[in-house]
Structure 1
Amino acid sequence: MREIFAGLPWWVKWIAVPAIALVVFGGLILSVLHFVVALLFKVLVFVALVGGLIYVVRRCRAGSSRSDW
């Protein structure tokens, strides 16, 4: 692989080849990035909901322990 790029100018190696890769694989890269961001957002929402549930349950249990049911 190094022999292929050995005789080429620097701009082909560092500008043209990555630009072509972005054009060809850009949709795939964006879809993977979208999936990762959506997954992280769902994990964050899940953690917030579970944390809120734990907070509400502990608060209700602390309030109910003072009164006799």
Structure 2
Amino acid sequence: MAAQEIFSGLPWWVKWIAVPVIALVVFGGLIASVVGFVVGLLFKALIFVALVGGLIYVVRKFISGSTSSRSDW
């Protein structure tokens, strides 16, 4: 039995409003947890990239500063 046969005699609002609402009620917690996990992962990746970039910036500044001060001696 195909989905078209199941929904064939029903009004349009059952297919386009009632079924998605029921799916959101049933799977809402799962969807929210997956979205939360993905957003948290992206946030952690952004923090990681910012920290690594900051570390590289500080190390390069320190190295360039220490080599110029050594050449001054």
Normalization by structure 1: what TM-score? Answer: 0.95
Q: Distance in 2 between matches of 1:23 and 1:13?
A: 15
- What root-mean-square deviation, in Å, do the aligned CA atoms of Structure 1 and Structure 2 show? 1.1
Q: Which runs of 4+ in 1 moved over 6 A?
A: none
Q: Percent identity?
A: 75
Which of 58, 61, 73 is the matching residue for 1:59? 61
Select the structure of larger CA radius of gyration: 2
Instruction: Give the match for residue 12 of structure 2.
Output: 10
Normalization by structure 2: what TM-score? Answer: 0.90
Q: In the TM superposition, what is the alpha-carbon distance from 1:47 to its structure 2 partner?
A: 0.3
Instruction: Give the match for residue 48 of structure 2.
Output: 46
Q: In the TM superposition, what is the alpha-carbon distance from 1:67 to its structure 2 partner?
A: 1.9
Is there any run of 5+ residues in structure 1 with no aligned partner, and where? none
User: What count of residue pairs does the alignment treat as equivalent?
Assistant: 69
Q: Distance in 1 between matches of 2:46 and 2:36?
A: 15
